A and B are shown apart, each in its own frame.
Chain A
Amino acid sequence: MLQTKKPTERPNILGGLGGWLWLAAIILPIYFIVITAFRDRVDLNQSNPLVPPAEPTLANFVRVIENDFFHFFFNSVVVTAATVAVVLIVSLMASYYIARSMSGGGQRLFSLILLGIAIPVQATIIPVYYLIRSLGLYDTLWALILPQIAFAIPLSVLIIVNFVRDIPNELFESMRVDGAGEWRILTSLVLPMAKPALMTVGIYQALQVWNGFLFPLILTQSREVRVLPLSLWEYQGEFAADIPATLAAVVLSAVPLLVAYILGRRYIVAGLTAGFGK
């Protein structure tokens, strides 16, 4: 299935040119972040921004780390892990119901959830803010976890349903005949068959939550519960004219994902698209 196109005889000059051009557009900003993060903040104004610093320094990273970086990092890990775990479990269960329910309830629920994909998160932020305040959850990590689970469900269900639907009927029937209840069918048939979809959903939603900015901006306030993206925004204020420290924070915030990417690139790229291409 994954056959690749054979290289054509004539080299594709135009395509190659475009590819390298886009590469330049991609790399230049990243190069800029990295070299600036190592630049001494004193010689910032005397130097050309695109020439690497003559004497690279780690001082900017130290300043960022001394400003509670690891605390914010830990908050992000907690929020992302909790959100993704719950999303995977409840979406898988709901997808099983939707794909296998013969009563029409599944189809109705699916339509409702598809509607959810079209709901812009931004548009509901004011009532979510009201709700979170009323529940007494404002400025807690719960305020970030609960709504993000809800908004991750529609797309997750859509992707997983496509996989669960393709499981042959006979497999379900034979498990039932063997006396398996719905929980056993869920864990020993649906779960393994939906694994590619779960990978896609897990990676996609983890990226979304890890990088999410709107919910933290509106639903949290104190340093205690600050997550990484918000901390970058706050660093920019705190460090005011300290561009190297701000960009050092940017570099540090991308390191975990970069490491994950280096270790599991094939997995991540294939996982991201497996569910969508279905």
Chain B
Amino acid sequence: MTQTVAQSAEEISDGAPQVQRDGAMRQSRQGPSFLMALPAVLFFGIFALIPLLGVLVLSFMSWDGLGSPEFIGLDNWVRMFERDQTMSSLWLTFVFVVICFVFQAPVALLLGVFMAGAQRYRALLSVLFFLPLLFSSVAVGITFQQLFSPNYGISSALPFDWLPSQWLGNPDIALYVVVFVVGWCFVPFHSLLYQAGVRQIPVSLYEAATIDGAGRVRQFFSITLPQLRYTAITSSTLMLVGSLTYFDLVFVLTQGGPGSATRILPLDMYISGFRNYDMGGASVLAVILVAVGLTLSLLLNKISGSSKMESDKAGM
């Protein structure tokens, strides 16, 4: 405070440098100049925002992926909504997102809490639990494709007759197999988030609860779970939006098959655009995907209030 006063006094006494000083003063009130953000804004604008608008524009155009796009009005929209596959892909995507969440969230939470324990063997298990994160989706997809293959997989390895010989080839269970593989890939990351969350809970809470005679289950529901709410919001957001747009694993595992049993929206979009060369129709599906994704994020955002600027927010 004293320094600021001294500085401004100096400014008044000086003549010429005043303008420059004044600039510096304004800067200290306003913070860094926009130039700091410019590179990020350029990258983000050109390769993320413009494509986001571009996909809307392309949905009104006819384009085979090679020539130049032509404007055709609402034709794509009408065509895509009259197509049965669009609705069934949408429904399948919804089912996929829900099952993914129902499977992954409890497993990740329980594993995270378990991993946070102090026992030696838990630390060892945590090291091994991390391993799936080291494999790319393609690697995981290829692995499980072999593991579930009717010719050379677990069905031929284990002497249980009741094991189905077709896993990914069976339209009734293919989707659940895919969900399991998605969980195999992503549960480790989410359980790490929960583990970190549990470790920040003050031990005194548990000590007090123990003195009060609360058992483990009671402690889990009355202390651990409420204390983890911000972690849960972060993890759930990443999980829900992630599985909505999930592409890589499903592409490698089933290519949307058998039939269209696992043809979720992102996959349907890829097949329409890059296999059937209907970029306009694929763009319609993409716009739907964006709309659903944004709605979902905004809803979750409302619940968590994570876009607030306060630094004490523990949300993501």
Q: Say if A and B assemble together.
A: yes
Task: Looking at the assembled complex, report how far the CB atom of A169 sits from the nearest CB atom of chain B, in whole angstroms.
Answer: 11
Q: Given the complex of chains A and B, what is the CA–CA distance between A243 and B4 in angstroms?
A: 73
A-B contact pairs, 17 of them (CB 8 A): A5-B203, A6-B203, A7-B117, A25-B184, A29-B143, A33-B143, A96-B32, A97-B32, A113-B40, A113-B44, A116-B48, A120-B266, A120-B289, A126-B286, A162-B311, A207-B133, A211-B136
| A182-B27 CB under 8 A given contacts A29-B147, A119-B290, A250-B135 | yes
The answer, among B37, B43, B146, for a CB contact under 8 Å with A36, is B146
Contacting pair A213 B137 (CB below 8 A): yes
* A6-B207, A124-B55, A126-B282 given; 20 more Cβ-contact pairs under 8 Å: A4-B116, A6-B118, A16-B114, A23-B125, A26-B129, A27-B131, A33-B143, A49-B153, A97-B37, A118-B298, A119-B293, A120-B290, A124-B48, A162-B311, A185-B32, A243-B146, A258-B134, A261-B130, A273-B195, A274-B196
Task: Looking at the assembled complex, report how far the CB atom of B48 sits from the nearest CB atom of chain A, in whole angstroms.
Answer: 4
How many A residues touch B, CB cutoff 8 Å?
118
Q: Chain B, 52-69, contact with A by CB distance < 8 Å: what is the 0/1 string?
A: 101101100001010001
| A90-B40 CB under 8 A given contacts A123-B286, A173-B28 | yes
Interface range for B: 35 or more
Task: Looking at the assembled complex, report how far the CB atom of A76 sits from the nearest CB atom of chain B, in whole angstroms.
Answer: 10
Contacting pair B266 A122 (CB below 8 A): yes
Task: Looking at the assembled complex, report how far the CB atom of B307 sits from the nearest CB atom of chain A, in whole angstroms.
Answer: 5
Contacting pair B273 A126 (CB below 8 A): yes
Question: In chain A, residues 202-242, which have Cβ atoms closer than 8 Å to a Cβ of chain B?
Answer: 207, 210-214, 218, 228-230, 232-233, 236
Contacting pair B138 A127 (CB below 8 A): no
The answer, among B44, B127, B274, for a CB contact under 8 Å with A116, is B44
Q: Given the complex of chains A and B, what is the CA–CA distance between A230 and B142 in angstroms?
A: 12
For B248, the chain A residues whose CB sits under 8 A away are: 213-214
Contacting pair A91 B31 (CB below 8 A): no
Contacting pair A254 B192 (CB below 8 A): no
**Which A-chain residue is minimally distant from B145 (CB atoms)?**
A236
Q: Chain B, 95-132, contact with A by CB distance < 8 Å: what is the 0/1 string?
A: 00000000000010011011111110010011111111
Which one of B28, B58, B198 has the greatest number of beta carbons of chain A within 10 Å? B28
For A173, the chain B residues whose CB sits under 8 A away are: 28
**Which A-chain residue is minimally distant from B127 (CB atoms)?**
A265
**B167 interfacial contact with A, CB 8 Å:** no
Contacting pair A122 B32 (CB below 8 A): no
Q: Given the complex of chains A and B, what is the CA–CA distance between A19 and B156 in angstroms?
A: 27
Q: Given the complex of chains A and B, what is the CA–CA distance between A253 and B141 in angstroms?
A: 14
| A218-B202 CB under 8 A given contacts A15-B110, A123-B269 | no
**Which A-chain residue is minimally distant from B111 (CB atoms)?**
A22
For A274, the chain B residues whose CB sits under 8 A away are: 196
**A78 interfacial contact with B, CB 8 Å:** no
For B286, the chain A residues whose CB sits under 8 A away are: 122-126
| A49-B55 CB under 8 A given contacts A123-B286, A151-B48, A153-B44 | no
Which one of B24, B65, B139, B142 has the greatest number of beta carbons of chain A within 10 Å? B139
**B297 interfacial contact with A, CB 8 Å:** yes
Q: Given the complex of chains A and B, what is the CA–CA distance between A128 and B279 in angstroms?
A: 12
Q: Which of B9-17, B77-85, B239-247 contacts A (4 or more CB under 8 A)?
A: B239-247
**A150 interfacial contact with B, CB 8 Å:** yes
| A102-B29 CB under 8 A given contacts A5-B198, A22-B129 | yes
| A129-B290 CB under 8 A given contacts A91-B40, A93-B37, A213-B136 | no
For A86, the chain B residues whose CB sits under 8 A away are: 43
| A165-B311 CB under 8 A given contacts A44-B152, A109-B37, A277-B200 | yes
Contacting pair A124 B31 (CB below 8 A): no
Q: Given the complex of chains A and B, what is the CA–CA distance between A124 and B234 in angstroms?
A: 24
For A28, the chain B residues whose CB sits under 8 A away are: 147
| A211-B137 CB under 8 A given contacts A23-B125, A127-B51, A277-B231 | yes
| A130-B54 CB under 8 A given contacts A32-B147, A118-B241, A151-B48 | yes
Contacting pair B36 A124 (CB below 8 A): no
Contacting pair B50 A127 (CB below 8 A): yes
For B192, the chain A residues whose CB sits under 8 A away are: 269, 272-273
**B74 interfacial contact with A, CB 8 Å:** no
Contacting pair A146 B293 (CB below 8 A): no
For B316, the chain A residues whose CB sits under 8 A away are: 158, 276
The answer, among A5, A26, A29, A153, for a CB contact under 8 Å with B116, is A5
Contacting pair B136 A147 (CB below 8 A): no
The answer, among B34, B48, B138, B151, for a CB contact under 8 Å with A229, is B138
The answer, among A5, A91, A272, for a CB contact under 8 Å with B117, is A5
Q: Given the complex of chains A and B, what is the CA–CA distance between A177 and B10 in angstroms?
A: 13
Q: Given the complex of chains A and B, what is the CA–CA distance between A4 and B115 in angstroms?
A: 11
The answer, among B32, B69, B115, for a CB contact under 8 Å with A182, is B32
**Which A-chain residue is minimally distant from B144 (CB atoms)?**
A29
For B24, the chain A residues whose CB sits under 8 A away are: 176
Contacting pair B125 A103 (CB below 8 A): no
For B199, the chain A residues whose CB sits under 8 A away are: 2-5
Question: In chain A, residues 11-46, which have Cβ atoms closer than 8 Å to a Cβ of chain B?
Answer: 12, 15-16, 18-20, 22-23, 25-30, 32-33, 36, 44-45
Q: Given the complex of chains A and B, what is the CA–CA distance between A10 and B216 in angstroms?
A: 9
Q: Chain B, 206-225, contact with A by CB distance < 8 Å: what is the 0/1 string?
A: 11001000001000000000
